A and B are shown apart, each in its own frame.
Chain A
């Protein structure tokens, strides 16, 4: 499990080293995209802990969720509707959800309790 963590660290370091100028107008979109990416990664972690991780689902979820979040925000801007607020709320809720499930999974793992069956369906 250390290799993906190395990837994360390399990504952060790369982001720190490589200068990037996101145009001010796109900052909102990238923010939503980052939120979606964060949600997907946490969802993947949770799925991993629950033993039902699927690489294809995870990868497609990462790409599609990230792009779609940014796209939806852009569309909302075109329509004059603050759609990004909805995206922020949904992704935030999901992130909290995922974190809480991860926490429980970890606690359960520590207590060596049997895993209850939970409906699958995570991206």
Chain B
């Protein structure tokens, strides 16, 4: 029997071999599951359900992320468009601020100095003959504008679109401020053109010089024109649009 095993023994051996194999595999798998996942296999199903749920939840969140990212992109696009518009607006605003005179500016131009005539008044003389009138100043300023001046100030008072020169006694009113002689007009523009316009025959200075007013025109490479310090108040004028 020892050297001639029966069929029964062979069959039993095969079955026990299979049984041993099965048990060992099962134990090994279970052990590895415990070692890797640290959970018994009975809970696998439950955990798989939780996992699936979480995976679905994650998918939803990912879709949400994608949607939000798209939204951000749209916003960014809009923002860049806005930035372009903003830059354009800022540029235009700068030009308008320069034009309105609310910003101090510097550049080449001329300085004009007007003084009262030193000629002594004789009895019976008209004192107007030795005084610089606001009209003289106005003529100078208008001539400067006409000659292409970009910024003009009189005694530190910026001449803006609403500025009017008027006469109060022996002083000149400009931007609701009294100006006293000597009157210094500074203008930024092409110095040669400005000077030529002022000195032209029949120009504003020619008449003053004829009456021996000390008048000086100096071309400068760099002159500063201060900003308008007053406010703008439009009570009647309304923008059309």
Complex interface residues of chain B between 15 and 32 (CB less than 8 A to chain A) = 15-26, 28-30
Q: How many residues of B contact A (CB 8 A)?
A: 29
- The one of B16, B28, B45 that contacts A16, using a Cβ cutoff of 8 Å: B28
Contact call A3/B12, Cβ cutoff below 8 A: yes
Contact call B29/A22, Cβ cutoff below 8 A: yes
Shortest distance from the beta carbon of A15 to any chain B beta carbon, whole Å: 3
- The one of B5, B19, B25, B44 that contacts A41, using a Cβ cutoff of 8 Å: B19
Centre residue among A1, A15, A27, A40 by max chain B CB count within 10 A: A15
Contact call B44/A8, Cβ cutoff below 8 A: no
Task: Tell me whether chain A's interface is mostly helix, strand or loop, or mixed.
Answer: helix
Query: Cβ of B11: which chain A residues have Cβ within 8 Å of it?
Result: 55, 59
Contact call A11/B19, Cβ cutoff below 8 A: yes
- The one of B10, B20, B45 that contacts A10, using a Cβ cutoff of 8 Å: B20
Contact call B24/A15, Cβ cutoff below 8 A: yes
Contact call B13/A3, Cβ cutoff below 8 A: yes
User: How far apart are the CA atoms of A5 and B20 in the complex, in Å?
Assistant: 10
- The one of A14, A30, A59 that contacts B17, using a Cβ cutoff of 8 Å: A14
Complex interface residues of chain A between 40 and 69 (CB less than 8 A to chain B) = 40-41, 44, 55, 58-59, 62, 66
Q: A15-B25, A27-B41 are in contact. Are A7 and B30 (CB under 8 A)?
A: no
User: How far apart are the CA atoms of A21 and B32 in the complex, in Å?
Assistant: 10
Stretch from A31-39, A91-99, A103-111 that touches the partner:
A31-39
Contact call B29/A30, Cβ cutoff below 8 A: yes
Contact call A41/B16, Cβ cutoff below 8 A: yes
Measured CB to CB, the nearest residue on chain B to A24 is B44
Q: A41-B15, A55-B8 are in contact. Are A31 and B20 (CB under 8 A)?
A: no
Contact call A34/B12, Cβ cutoff below 8 A: no
Q: How many residues of A contact B (CB 8 A)?
A: 35
The answer to whether the Cβ of A79 comes within 8 Å of any Cβ in the partner chain is no
Query: Cβ of A58: which chain B residues have Cβ within 8 Å of it?
Result: 12, 15
Query: Cβ of A5: which chain B residues have Cβ within 8 Å of it?
Result: 16
Measured CB to CB, the nearest residue on chain B to A33 is B22
Contact call B28/A15, Cβ cutoff below 8 A: yes
Contact call A3/B9, Cβ cutoff below 8 A: yes
User: How far apart are the CA atoms of A20 and B23 in the complex, in Å?
Assistant: 12
User: How far apart are the CA atoms of A11 and B13 in the complex, in Å?
Assistant: 9
- The one of B14, B24, B33 that contacts A27, using a Cβ cutoff of 8 Å: B33
Shortest distance from the beta carbon of A95 to any chain B beta carbon, whole Å: 13
Query: Cβ of B28: which chain A residues have Cβ within 8 Å of it?
Result: 15-16, 20
Contact call A38/B17, Cβ cutoff below 8 A: no
User: How far apart are the CA atoms of A44 and B166 in the complex, in Å?
Assistant: 131
Q: List 17 A-B contacts (CB under 8 A).
A: A6-B13, A7-B15, A8-B17, A10-B17, A14-B21, A14-B24, A15-B21, A15-B23, A15-B24, A15-B25, A15-B28, A28-B42, A37-B18, A37-B19, A38-B23, A44-B15, A55-B8
